[in-house]
Structure 1
Amino acid sequence: MHIAFFGSSIVSAYWNGAATYYRGILGALARRGHRITFYEPDAFDRQKHRDIEPPEWCRVVVYKPCEDAAAAQLEDARGADLVVKASGVGVLDSFLEKSVLALKSPRTRVVFWDVDAPATLESIHTSPDDRLGPLVPDFDMILTYGGGPPVVSAYEALGAKACVPIYNALEPETHHPVPPDPAFAADLSFLGNRLPDRERRVEEFFLKAAAGVPGKRFLMGGSGWDDKPMPDNVRWIGHVYTHQHNAFNCSARAVLNITRDSMARTGFSPPTRVFEACGAGSCLVTDAWTGIEQFLEPDREVLTAVDGDAVAAHLADLSPERAAAIGAAGRARVLAHHTYDHRALEVERLLEGRDTGAPALEGAAR
């Protein structure tokens, strides 16, 4: 089938954490024979910070961030078997969410794909400017990249015909073990942009942990942290491009995942960093969140921490041998159960009505 996808960006991960998710899911669907067109606005300097050129399996259309240009791309998408509007495009979101529904037809089904469901739902319930909530029942299906039962229930309460999480996963050809790079050497590394609902947890789980073990080396990657006060044993290196992620993950004793506030409250939302680190064979330490056991076994495939003191305690006791064993076990788990090929099969079954009891989307056959 032809999938027309309106998202933030597939070629740039600059201020765009969903990029690797889009590449993984859509690349896996392309391998299964589906045709992909990805529409993204030229916004937030993302085109100046491309991580990749348009992949051969995807037609990428970059448009000016204005309604006339967006309307032209909507017309271009008319007649596709499946039209997807992702959350968080960043510009013209309300316009696109309303306009894609006009593309529905006996041949074309329209899906809202929420890549930040807790934040989206909070906006629906609290923002006086929200326009998405009343449209939820009009979409043929709501897909999310996480959230578990609380998110499903919340969308069903808004009238969603069906809501199904399609979780982050690993793309083994992209994220895999590589030799360590001295430029990224550390005892604990963390990668994440500075965001309002992440900063407090970074202070607790990363900066407090660093202050607690001054003899350990901490490395931070991500945009926006340039004026953030940090302990002397923390080194900040700015934006880390996708092609550098493997070296970043493989050059530290352990890699830390810190879930954003909204995701931590909802649970069942493993970020892309979880699978990237495990795919590289890194020893992953994550803040504890509901549902982690669905993806990785604590103490064998991942280390969990309830606060910065617990992170520091893990580092104090973590030998190279144990770190390597946890990294190997985590990698084996995600390769066996959590790759984007697994997720693409889930999506395909959903669209054909062969899984979870969700209704089939007419016209969605390959």
Structure 2
Amino acid sequence: MKLTVFGLTISSSWGNGHATLWRGLVRALARRGHRVTFFERDVPYYAGTRDLSEIPNGRLVLYSDWDEVRAQAERELADADVGMVTSYCPDGVAAADLVLGSRVAARVFYDLDTPVTLAKLGRGEPVGYIGPRGLGDFDLVLSYTGGAALAELRSRLGARRTATLYGHVDPEIHRPAAPQDHYRADLSYIGTYAEDRQRALEALLVEPARRMPERRFVIAGAQYPQDFPWTPNIHFVRHLGPDEHPAFYSSSRLTLNVTRAAMAAMGWCPSGRLFEATACGTPVLSDAWDGLDAFFEPGREVLVARDTAEAEAALGLSDAELGRIAAAARERTLAEHTADRRVGDLFAALDGCFTPTADIQPLGA
């Protein structure tokens, strides 16, 4: 099968969660013999941090102007089985028009940012990657977020058929690695700075660092402001490439997952970091949100903290207890949350497009 995708980025992991997810999906699709052509606008901030230039059994098309690439996109769609547009695609509306006017068997929209999309709609703000007709013309709308988000995509944007396509991990990339002293941490965190994560990040990492000066904390990510409330025992890694993630996680006694406010409020929104860390055999401390227990069992496979005291309690657990949690979570991840499993979910959803009478019952619907 051939899939033609118009997305945000697959070539740069800097400041976004899309690239790593797409890389895992593309590798899993290639292992099954499928092909992907990925169209990405070549913008300076991704060009300067590019850490991928080719995709397996497929093609990456970087372009500077939509009008220049439109004819090539039409040719790629002409022999494709699936045409897909994603959230935050810079030319999402134009690409959607092209996909919807093509003869592909399945015309798909994949919202990797559903709570953000719905929050913008709720505030009356424009959503630049969705046209005025909403999503009703697509054969299938995939959502990175489950639960109530699926019903809202139907009621507010006219989606006719919805299914979840959650985050995942490629265990060939994310697996236990040799610890590195410069990444060593009692509690670590990977994430691009986001204002709506700041309160939780301060409660679950910054304040514990103030109270526990003998412990070492590490934050890795982009776009952190100069006035971030650093403490002497919080160390910073400005940008961490995907190839360094396994060593980073494997150097952490415990790692933190913090969910963006809109996503946490909606629930059913597992960050890919959850799956990456657990695949590396690192225990995870997560903020709380509805649906977390559908992916990992709190207390046995993941630790949950709602405030500073609970974060401190997690840091106080013995190495043996943290090791048991990490082992249980890794087993669950490798069984249920790999890229190969998500490709199976993708094709189960697509089968409903090829067989219109099929009834999709997605997890969390």
TM-score of the alignment, normalized to the shorter chain, above 0.5: yes
- Give the deviation of 1:309 after TM superposition: 2.5
Q: Say which of 357, 360, 364 aligns to 1:358.
A: 360
2:327 aligned with 1:342: no
For 1:11 and 1:294, the matched residues in 2 are separated by 31
Aligned residues: 353
Q: Is 1:115 paired with 2:117? A: no
> Is 1:250–2:250 an aligned residue pair?
yes
- Structure-1 residue corresponding to 2:297: 297
Distance, in Å, in 1 between the alignment partners of 2:176 and 2:125 is 47
Hey, what's the Cα distance between the residues in 2 that align with 1:44 and 1:144? 28
Q: State the superposition RMSD in angstroms.
A: 1.9
Q: Superposed, which structure 2 residues align to 1:1-366 within 5 Å?
A: 1-64=1-64, 66-79=65-78, 80-89=80-89, 91-103=90-102, 105=103, 107-130=104-127, 131-132=130-131, 134-146=133-145, 148-157=146-155, 158-227=157-226, 228-315=228-315, 317-353=316-352, 357-358=359-360
* 2:305 maps to amino acid: A
What is the Cα deviation at residue 349 of structure 1? 1.6
Please report how far the alpha carbon of residue 356 of structure 1 lies from its aligned counterpart in structure 2 after TM superposition.
7.5
Cα 1:76–1:116, aligned 2, differ >3 Å: closer, same or farther? same
- Cα shift at 1:144: 1.2
Residues of 1 paired with 2:358 and 2:167: CA distance? 18
Tell me, in whole angstroms, the C-alpha distance in 1 between the residues paired with 2:93 and 2:195: 22
Name the amino acid aligned to 1:357: D
List per-residue Cα deviations over 1:126-162 (Å, max 9, x = no partner). Answer: 334345362310111100112x221111011132111
Whole-angstrom CA distance in 2 between matches of 1:78 and 1:323: 49
Tell me, in whole angstroms, the C-alpha distance in 1 between the residues paired with 2:5 and 2:31.
Answer: 16
Please identify, of 270-279 and 229-238, the stretch whose mean Cα deviation from structure 2 is larger: 229-238
Distance 1:51 1:288, change over 3 A: same
Call closer, same or farther: CA 1:70–1:266 in 2, change over 3 Å: farther
Gaps of 5+ in 1: 360-366
* Counterparts of 1:352 and 1:83, CA distance in 2: 14
Cα deviation, 1:57-90, whole Å, max 9, x if unaligned, reads: 22111111x331342343233221111001012x
CA contact (8 A) 1:77 1:83 kept: no
Supply the AA of the counterpart residue of 1:32: R
Give the partner amino acid of 1:251: S
| Amino acid paired to 1:177 | P
User: Given that residues 124 and 133 in structure 1 are in contact (C-alpha distance below 8 angstroms), is that contact kept between their aligned partners in structure 2?
Assistant: no
Q: Which stretch shows the higher mean deviation, 202-211 or 70-79?
A: 70-79
Q: Which residue of 2 aligns with 1:362?
A: none
TM-score, normalised by the number of residues in structure 2 = 0.91
Contact 2:40 2:63 survives alignment (8 Å): yes
Q: Deviations over 1:204-232 (max 9, x none)?
A: 22212222322211100001125112122
Q: What is the deviation of 1:36? A: 0.8
1:44 CA drift (Å): 4.1
Greater CA drift, 255-264 or 48-57: 48-57
CA distances 1:325-348 after superposition (whole Å, capped 9, x unpaired): 211111011111111111111111
Aligned to 1:364: none
How many angstroms apart in 1 are the aligned matches of 2:124 and 2:72? 28
Percent identity over the alignment is 35
SS in 1 for 2:175: coil
Alignment deviations for residues 294-329 of structure 1 (CA, whole Å, 9 cap, x no partner): 1111111110111232112211x2222222221111
The CA distance in 2 between the partners of 1:55 and 1:129, in whole Å, is 33
Runs of 5+ consecutive residues of structure 2 not aligned to the other structure: none
- Which residue number in structure 2 is paired with residue 363 of structure 1? none
| Cα 1:331/1:128, change in 2 over 3 Å | closer
Instruction: State the one-letter code of the partner of 2:162.
Output: C
Q: Give the letter aligned to residue 229 of structure 1.
A: P
Tell me, yes or no, if the aligned pair for 1:8 and 1:16 is still in contact at 8 Å.
no
For residues 250 and 356 of structure 1, the distance between their equivalents in structure 2, rounded to whole angstroms, comes to 43
CA deviation map 1:105-129 (0-9, x unaligned): 3x44211000110001222333343
* Structure 1 length-normalised TM: 0.91
Q: Is the CA contact (8 Å cut-off) linking 1:145 and 1:168 kept in structure 2?
A: yes
